[in-house]
Amino acid sequence: MFTIPDELIAVGKKRMEGHAVQGFVRSYGNPQPKLLLVGEAPGENEIATGIPFIGRAGTELMKSLESIGLTRDDVYMTSTVRSRPYKWGTKKERDGTIVKRTYNRAPKTSEILAHAPLLDYEIHYLQPLLVVTLGTIGLQRLLGKSAKVTEIHGQKIYRPIQYLHNFEDSHYTLTSKSFVIVPTFHPASVFYRPSLREHVFQDWQKIGQYVKETSS
Ligand code: URA
């Protein structure tokens, strides 16, 4: 198993202070992964268990991995941000009472920057043969704001990626080396846009093919 050193996790937590986020999921996985998966941020279930992709989105992701003959143990799963970004809202209980509760939200640019050294470390040390970004947040973290998942999903892109060269900076630098990135939709996207299911399926079939090509 490969994981991030405690000292770097402490740096990430410190950089995130003052933001509306909860908990921390460490991320770990195969030290020689067939794929490195970059998600968005953990949700409630991941924070409760400390395991990435264990909730509803995780179940969808496991089905996609299974469809190409892979399991959780073959890959390394990580996310752009390791803590759960939340916002306050209200919920109506069965008896009609209104209660305050937290909801998941997408991470902000400043939160992505706060945890950038963690993802950079994983990519640098694992040197993955294939990086699959799940959704817009992970894709744009690595390839910049102009990258659109709707335009390039399922494609194999060979390019330098963004990393935070100096922890004090608020802008990214490009790596000198190129990586193979395959963008696809976030596994949760099919819950609010069921028409994406077929695209997600097709993307994963292509990813399966790319895995075969890179390991042969
Ligand atoms: N979405 C992510 O990006 N990561 C998780 O662990 C769960 C949902």
Q: How far apart are CA 75 and CA 108, in angstroms?
A: 27
Ligand 1 touching residue 46 (CB < 6 A) = yes
Residue reference for tokens 């939160």? 111
What digits encode the pLDDT tens for the residues 143-180?
999 999 999 999 999 999 999 999 999 999 999 999 99
Mean pLDDT, the chain, rounded, equals: 96
Amino acid at 58: G
What digits encode the pLDDT tens for the residues 123-137?
999 999 999 999 999
Q: Which CATH number does the domain housing residue 100 bear?
A: 3.40.470.10
Q: Is the pLDDT of residue 72 over 90?
A: yes
Is 129 contained in some domain?
Answer: yes
Is 139 contained in some domain?
Answer: yes
Q: In what order do the strands lie in the sheet with 2-3?
A: 2-3, 28-29, 76-79, 36-39, 131-134, 173-184, 157-163
Query: Which atom from ligand 1 is nearest to the alpha carbon of 137?
Result: 3
Is 187 contained in some domain?
Answer: yes
Q: How far apart are CA 108 and CA 98, in angstroms?
A: 28
Q: Which residues contact 52 (CB under 8 A, 6 or more apart)?
A: 25, 27, 39, 42, 46, 58, 77, 78, 79
Is 91 contained in some domain?
Answer: yes
Encoded tokens for 2 = 């490969």
Q: Is the pLDDT of residue 8 over 90?
A: yes
Ligand 1 touching residue 41 (CB < 6 A) = yes
- Give 194 Cα–ligand 1 centroid separation in angstroms: 19
- Give 40 Cα–ligand 1 centroid separation in angstroms: 6
Total structural domains within the chain: 1
Amino acid at 67: S
Residue reference for tokens 């989105």? 57
What digits encode the pLDDT tens for the residues 45-58?
999 999 999 999 99
- Give 216 Cα–ligand 1 centroid separation in angstroms: 30
Q: Is the pLDDT of residue 18 over 90?
A: yes
Structural domain that includes position 167: 6-215
Q: Is the pLDDT of residue 32 over 80?
A: yes
Closest CA to 15 of 120, 125, 131: 120
Q: How far apart are CA 150 and CA 185, in angstroms?
A: 8
Is 1 contained in some domain?
Answer: no
The pair phi, psi for residue 90, each rounded to 5°, is: -125, 155
Encoded tokens for 89 = 């809202």
- Report the alpha-carbon angle 142-28-211, nearest 5: 60
Closest CA to 186 of 67, 106, 102: 106
- Residue from 24, 25, 40, 136 to probe ligand 1 pocket by mutation (most atoms less than 8 Å from CB): 40
pLDDT of amino acid 78 = 96
Q: Is the pLDDT of residue 216 over 80?
A: no
What digits encode the pLDDT tens for the residues 82-99?
999 999 999 999 999 999
